[in-house]
Structure formats: C-alpha cells, structure tokens
Amino acid sequence: MTDKKFHLLIETQARAGELITSHGTVPTPVFLPVGSQATVKTLTPDEISGIGYKMILANNYHLYLRPGIEVIKKLGGLHKFMSWEGAILTDSGGFQVFSLAPLRKVTDDGVMFRSHIDGSQHFLTPELAVEYQEALGSDVMMVLDECAPHDAGREKVAEAMHRTHRWAARCREAQKSENQSLYGIVQGGIYSDLRKQSVNFLKELDFEGYAIGGLSVGEPKDIMYSILAETAAQLPVEKPRYLMGVGSPEDIVEGVARGIDIFDCVLPTRVARNGALFTWNGRVNIRNAGYAQQTGPVMPGCGCYTCTHFSAAYLHHLFNAGELLAYRLATLHNLTFMHSLVKKVRESTIDGTFSGFYEEFLQNYRTTDEEIRLSQKQKWLKAREAKEKAE
C-alpha cells in the first residue's frame, strides 16, 4: 500500500484521529450518514456537506442491483455519479444479501441470491465484491462477510465466522487498487472466544482498518457493549476501528468510550421521517399534541436550518398534514445533531475532558426503554421484510 491512511492523534479512554483518503481528510470519531442507493434520503449532497460531513456510506448490494456497477463506472464512478466531493465508504453488500434477499444459498464459493427488487438470480463472490467496489471508486471498501443472526447458536455463528475468514483472505488477495482502503470485518456473535479468534485471524491479513460486525442485531445492549469493549481492545491500536450499523446517540458515546473511530447507521434519518427528533435530553415525537402550539424550535439553541427557521408547531403541522417538507426538515435536524454530538465527543477527547462529557451526556439523555427498543426493532425488521417481499 501507499502512504499511511490513518493518523491516531489521541489514544486515551477514547480516541481521536484523522482518516486520510483521496477525497480529503476525515476527523475521527466520525458518524457516516447512510446513502445506500447513492443518496442520503431527502437531502442533497450540498446539504450534507453544509452540515459538516466529509464522508458518507453507500452500499454495493443496492448499487449493483440498481442502476448497476457498469452504469456508475461508465458515468465516472460513484463520486461523480452522485455529485459528492467527500469520501465514501462502501459496504460489500453481505449484510443486505442475508437480510433482504428472499432466497439465498451460501457456499464457500460465494452466495447465490435472488434480488428483492425483481426476483432475478445473482451470484456474489468475495472477488466480485472487491471488483465492484473498486469500480465504484469508494475510498474505503469492505470485505464480503457472513453475518449470522444473533440467536443462531454457537455452531452456526462459528461456521459463519470461519467462512467470513476465508472470504476475507480472498478479498485481500483480490484487492488491486492502492488508493482504496480495504477493511476486514470481525464476526463471532456474542461469544468472546470467537471474537478473539476472529480478531487474531484478520490481524494476520494486515487490513488497512478493522470493522466489528454482527452487533446491534437484536441482542441486549449490555451484551453488545461488553462484546464491543472486549473486541475493540484486541484490535491494532494504529488502525481505524469501525462499528458497523450502530449509531444511536447513546451508542456513539458508549462506542467512543470503548475505542471506536467510525460509526454508521440509518437510524437518525429513518426515525426523522417518522417524526422522531433528537435533542440533548433524548428523542422526542414531533407528532405529539404538545407541540401543536410551541412557538420555539424543537431544540432551543440548535443551529440547524430547521431550528433556526421554523417552530416546533410548524413541524408538527407538516407531519400531520403529510407534507414532504417534514421529512427533509426532520432529517436536516437529526443529521446536524449527530454531527454536533460527534464534534463534541472529539473535542472533549482532544482536550482531555471526555470522561466528564460521557457522564453528563448519559445523565441527561433519556434513552428508549430496552424492551420497547427491541420490540420496535423486531417490528421494523418484519415490516421491511414484508415490504421487500411485496415488491
């Protein structure tokens, strides 16, 4: 590989660093807005960069199915295709294959699956996962992995982990581009010994960064935090650490406290479109009647476009009227909140006050009740599955 692609500036309870890419330097810790299909839903690239984001996530699975890798390559690559000048991390699509595809068959060669869009059959191998991401031109690529369900049982989790390792080695061998980083993905479910085994195997392949996959997929948060802390502590200090698919405000703070550098999640944008807005005291539902006549913004002191231009009563009205502007304004607010949160986390890490910030944030922030959270997640997963099958 060429020059070093990650500079660790602070290594204490929490970490602060810089991710070096061909499309700019990204300060860490960092939260990546999710633009699976080459768009962060409801917002333009200029609005995303205007908030302060320098990196987003896109998804190989979705872009492969629609509009197609060759289309994007012919039009100049993913950055030009979506008019985004910042950095891009692409997921290999492995998680989507296992969570969205209605029919699939997994072997050591790869995974045969049917598209959730039109039922067409496709075959994805580790080599193709890398080839497609190199064609997209993303700054950070992910290996193809198999993520077992959290309740699959130890034997199934171990089987998926070993296949992930074999695929990771093939991805590493298939990598051609020196300008794009390739990250390995640690699997092993909720089993500490499997996680340790996975870390040790992947470290031998010397990836540019390491992701932790297979968490926040239905297990209780206390278990997730415990496994996260054990796993992160075993990863190379000098390489970036990426917690995949996790991004509620409390998880960002807890993740940084356990040594994580990169986060991504659809949660902030998805809940925004359902009327849930983040504040420093927790998530609020703008649809509630109590906001019908609130003259001030939903979060006083917030500098986002939404809070500086509109009252909570106006947002309440837009959601109740089903106006499309509601989704845009709520998304602008939530992504601004997430960016502000990560910025505060980074600043407190650099000036040595993270411990105090951590305690204050968790004391003031009301999290969603654990049973309600798990119930809501299961309902969402079932609704998504039903929607994909219907399409």
- Which amino acids are annotated catalytic? 91, 264
Residue 53 near residue 265, CB atoms below 8 Å: no
Cα within 13 Å of Cα(169), Cβ side? 10
Burial track 57-67 (b if 16+ CB lie within 10 A, e otherwise): bbbbbbbbbee
Residue 286 near residue 315, CB atoms below 8 Å: yes
Task: Please tell me the distance from the alpha carbon of residue 254 to that of residue 278, in angstroms, as a whole number.
Answer: 17
Which tokens sit at 30?
A: 């960092």
The dihedrals phi and psi of 86, each to the nearest 5 degrees, come to -85, -170
How big is the chain, counted in residues?
Answer: 391
Task: Write a three-state SS string for the chain.
Answer: CCCCCEEEEEECCCEEEEEEECCEEEEECEEECECCCCCCCCCCHHHHHHHCCCEEEEEHHHHHHCCCHHHHHHCCCHHHHHCCCCEEEEECCHHHHHHHCCCEEECCCCEEEECCCCCCEEEECHHHHHHHHHHHCCCEEECCCCCCCCCCCHHHHHHHHHHHHHHHHHHHHHCCCCCCEEEEEECCCCCHHHHHHHHHHHHHCCCCEEEECCCCCCCCHHHHHHHHHHHHHHCCCCCCEEECCECCHHHHHHHHHCCCCEEECCHHHHHHCCCEEEECCEEEECCCHHHCCCCCCCCCCCCCHHHHHCCHHHHHHHHHHCCCHHHHHHHHHHHHHHHHHHHHHHHHHHCCCHHHHHHHHHHHCECCCHHHHHHHHHHHHHHHHHHHHHC
Identify which of 144, 132, 146, 145 has the alpha carbon closest to the alpha carbon of residue 177: 132
